[in-house]
Chain A
Amino acid sequence: MANVPENLHYSKDHEWVRVEGDTAVIGITDHAQDQLGDVVYVELPRAGDEFVANESFGSVESVKAVSEIFTPVSGKVAEANDSLTDEPEKVNKDPYGDGWMIKIKMSSSGEVDSLLTAAEYEDFTKAENE
C-alpha cells in the first residue's frame, strides 16, 4: 500500500504539497512513483520561472514513459532540486523527502485549501484503480 503522509496536501495529478510559510514544496506521491517505475530522468524549471496552478512545470521519465508534472499552486520557483539530474532514483526511494522537486513562492495562499487531504487522496487513488 502506498505511503500517504498525513501532513501534506495532494492533487488529483498525484503531486504533493508541503506548506512552509508562504512557500510550497512540491513533489510526486509514493503512488505516482510506484506507478511510473524506475525514474531515469527528471526535468525541472529554473528558479525565477513563474507558473499558474495546474500548469506543467516539468517532466519525470521512466524507461517506459514520460509524465508531466503539474504545480498545484501558483507562484514563482524559489528553488529546484537539481540533485535529481544525477540521482533521479531519489524520486523512487524517497518521494516525500530527498525526491522533492521544486519550491514555489505562493502568490495565492488560498489554493492549497482546495487540494485533497491525505484521506481524500487515498480514496481518490483507490477509486482510480478500480
Chain B
Amino acid sequence: MTAPALKLKSTALNSIHRKLGGRMVEFGGWDMPVQYPAGTVEEHVRTRTHAGLFDVSHMGEIDVRGLDAVAFVNGLVSNDASKLVDGQAQYSALTTPEGTVIDDLLVYRFAEDHLLLVVNAGTTDKDWDWISSHRENEDIELRNVSADYCQIAFQGPDALGILQKLTRLPLSEIKYYHFREGEVDGVPAIVSRTGYTGEDGFEVYASPDKAERLWNKSLDAGNFGADDGVLACGLAARNTLRLEAGMCLYGHEIDETTTLLEANLGWITKLNKGYFIGRDRLLKQKEEGIGRKLLGFEVTDRGIARDGQDVLIDGQRVGQVTSGSPAPFLKKNIGMAYVPVEFANEGRAIEIDVRGRRVGAQIVPLPFYKRPKQ
C-alpha cells in the first residue's frame, strides 16, 4: 500500500467512489474503484440479474471531423468504417503494419464528416500520437476530447428501464451498436446501446461537470431494494463480466505482439475493404494460416488459473494464460490463453501451471456466457 510515484488522473466521480466506500486502485494511469463494499461477486451477479452502474470516464475520446474523416479513419482501422451510417457504432482496432493491435476501439459516426473514436484509458496518448502522426493532407480536424466527457455504463437486464426513467429518448428503439443524442435528466448526452459485460445496456457520454448528478440520479432511479436494485460496480466486476462474455481486454488478449486473426477478431478484420495499415500482413497470415489461436478453457481440477501462467499440453509448455479468474455468475474457474492451432480443439484436456502445481483444464467454446434471448 505504498503511495504511487505518479500523479494519477481521476474521473469526475472520484469523490463519489470514495464516499461509496470504493476501494481505489491504479488502472492505466487512473485512480479507479476496483470494487465497492458489496464486493466483486455481488456486483457481477447483480449486473447479470438486474443492473450495474460503471464509471468508465477514464476511456479516451478522439474527435475526427472533416470531409475526409471516414476515409482517414478507415486507413487506420481494421473494420470497415465506410459501412457505418449516422447514429451507428462499430467495434474496430487500430493496427500496426504487422497486423498486431495498437488498441481496440469503438468508432461512432455522427455524420459523414464527423466520427468519434472511443479508446482505452491506458492507450489514449499512444493512440493520439499514432493517429495524428498519420495525418497527411486530408481535410480533417483531430482533437483529443477525452477531458470533455464523462462516461457511465448502465448494464444488465434492468438497465433500459432505469435509464428510461431519466430520458425521453425511446431507448427500446435504439438498436444494438447504435446511439442517439438527447438529454438524460435534462443533461445533453450521447446514449449508446453498447457495453463490455455481455448484457444488454447503454453507455452514456456527457459533460464531466454533470457526472455526479447523472450518477446519483441513476442510482436513485434503480433503487429497487437491497437485493434487486442497481449496484455501483468496480473494475474487478467489469473484468470478470467481460471475461465470461469472452471479450478481449487490451494488454491481455491483444497487444502489439498479437494479430487480430490470432485473437479471433477476424470478424472485425475486413480484408476486402481496401487499404488499411497492416492489411498486407493480415492477408498473408490468412492465406498461410495462423500459428496460434486464442481459446477459452475451464478449470476441471481445484484451483484458479491466473494471467501469465503457462499452459501445458502433454507435459509441454505451449502457451500462456492471458486472463484467468473465477467466473462469479457461471461459478466456474475460467480463462483465455494462446495455444498452437494444432492443439486448439474444443474438448482437449490441458494443464495450467498454477504456481508450480499442474491443474487440469479443458478447452471450451467462447464465449463462456451468452445472455438469454429476450
Which of the residues B1, B44, B302, B306 comes within 8 Å of A66, measured between beta carbons? B306
How many residues on the B side are at the interface (Cβ–Cβ under 8 A)?
19
A63 touches B1 (CB 8 A): no
B303 touches A41 (CB 8 A): yes
Q: Which residues of B contact A (CB under 8 A)?
A: 1, 23, 34-35, 39-42, 44, 236, 240, 302-304, 306, 325-326, 328, 355
B39 touches A38 (CB 8 A): yes
Q: How far is the CA of A37 from the CA of B34 in the complex (A)?
A: 10
In A92-130, which residues have CB < 8 Å from any B CB?
Answer: 128-129
A58-85 toward B: CB 8 Å interface, digit per residue (1/0)? 0101111010000000000000000001
A64 touches B34 (CB 8 A): yes
Which of the residues A63, A85, A128 comes within 8 Å of B326, measured between beta carbons? A63
B325 touches A63 (CB 8 A): yes
Given A38-B39, A38-B40, A40-B41, A63 and B236 touching (CB < 8 A)? yes
Q: How far is the CA of A41 from the CA of B42 in the complex (A)?
A: 16
Q: How far is the CA of A62 from the CA of B240 in the complex (A)?
A: 12
Given A37-B35, A40-B326, A41-B326, A62 and B40 touching (CB < 8 A)? yes
Q: How far is the CA of A126 from the CA of B240 in the complex (A)?
A: 31
Q: Which residues from chain A contact B325 at a C-beta distance below 8 Å?
A: 63-64
Q: How far is the CA of A37 from the CA of B306 in the complex (A)?
A: 17
A sample of 20 more A-B contacts (CB under 8 A), given A37-B39, A43-B303, A63-B328, is A37-B40, A37-B236, A38-B39, A38-B41, A40-B41, A40-B304, A40-B326, A41-B302, A41-B303, A41-B304, A41-B326, A62-B40, A63-B40, A63-B44, A64-B34, A64-B325, A66-B306, A66-B355, A128-B1, A129-B1
Q: How far is the CA of A43 from the CA of B354 in the complex (A)?
A: 12
Q: Which residues from chain A contact B40 at a C-beta distance below 8 Å?
A: 37-38, 62-64
Q: Which residues from chain B contact A59 at a C-beta distance below 8 Å?
A: 355
Q: What secondary structure prevails in chain B residues at the interface with A?
A: mixed
Tell me the total A-B contact number using a CB cutoff of 8 A: 40
Q: Which 6 A-B pairs have the closest CB atoms?
A: A63-B40, A38-B39, A38-B41, A64-B236, A40-B326, A128-B1
Q: Which residues from chain B contact A41 at a C-beta distance below 8 Å?
A: 302-304, 326
Which of the residues B23, B240, B355 comes within 8 Å of A63, measured between beta carbons? B240
Q: How far is the CA of A10 from the CA of B39 in the complex (A)?
A: 26
Q: How far is the CA of A129 from the CA of B2 in the complex (A)?
A: 8
A43, A61, A63, A128, most chain B CB atoms within 10 A: A63
Q: Which residues from chain A contact B23 at a C-beta distance below 8 Å?
A: 37
Q: Which residues from chain A contact B34 at a C-beta distance below 8 Å?
A: 64
CB distance from B207 to the nearest CB of A (A): 32
CB distance from A63 to the nearest CB of B (A): 4
Q: How far is the CA of A111 from the CA of B224 in the complex (A)?
A: 53
Q: Which residues from chain B contact A64 at a C-beta distance below 8 Å?
A: 34-35, 40, 236, 325
Q: How far is the CA of A20 from the CA of B115 in the complex (A)?
A: 69
Q: Which residues from chain A contact B35 at a C-beta distance below 8 Å?
A: 37, 64
Task: Please name the residue on chain A nearest to B306 by beta carbon.
Answer: A66
Q: How far is the CA of A63 from the CA of B325 in the complex (A)?
A: 6
Q: Which residues from chain A contact B240 at a C-beta distance below 8 Å?
A: 63
A-B pairs with beta carbons under 8 Å apart, 25 shown: A37-B23, A37-B236, A38-B39, A38-B41, A38-B42, A40-B326, A41-B302, A41-B303, A41-B304, A41-B326, A43-B303, A59-B355, A61-B304, A61-B326, A62-B40, A63-B40, A63-B44, A63-B236, A63-B325, A63-B328, A64-B40, A64-B325, A66-B306, A66-B355, A85-B302
Q: Which residues from chain B contact A63 at a C-beta distance below 8 Å?
A: 40-41, 44, 236, 240, 325-326, 328
A66 touches B41 (CB 8 A): no
CB distance from A21 to the nearest CB of B (A): 33
Q: Which residues from chain B contact A129 at a C-beta distance below 8 Å?
A: 1
CB distance from B157 to the nearest CB of A (A): 22
Task: Please name the residue on chain A nearest to B327 by beta carbon.
Answer: A63
Q: How far is the CA of A75 from the CA of B303 in the complex (A)?
A: 26
Q: How far is the CA of A59 from the CA of B23 in the complex (A)?
A: 22
Q: How far is the CA of A43 from the CA of B39 in the complex (A)?
A: 21
CB distance from A58 to the nearest CB of B (A): 11
A66 touches B39 (CB 8 A): no
Task: Please name the residue on chain A nearest to B42 by beta carbon.
Answer: A38
CB distance from A67 to the nearest CB of B (A): 12
Q: Which residues from chain B contact A61 at a C-beta distance below 8 Å?
A: 304, 326
Task: Please name the residue on chain B nearest to A62 by beta carbon.
Answer: B40
Q: Which residues from chain A contact B1 at a C-beta distance below 8 Å?
A: 128-129
Task: Please name the residue on chain A nearest to B333 by beta carbon.
Answer: A41
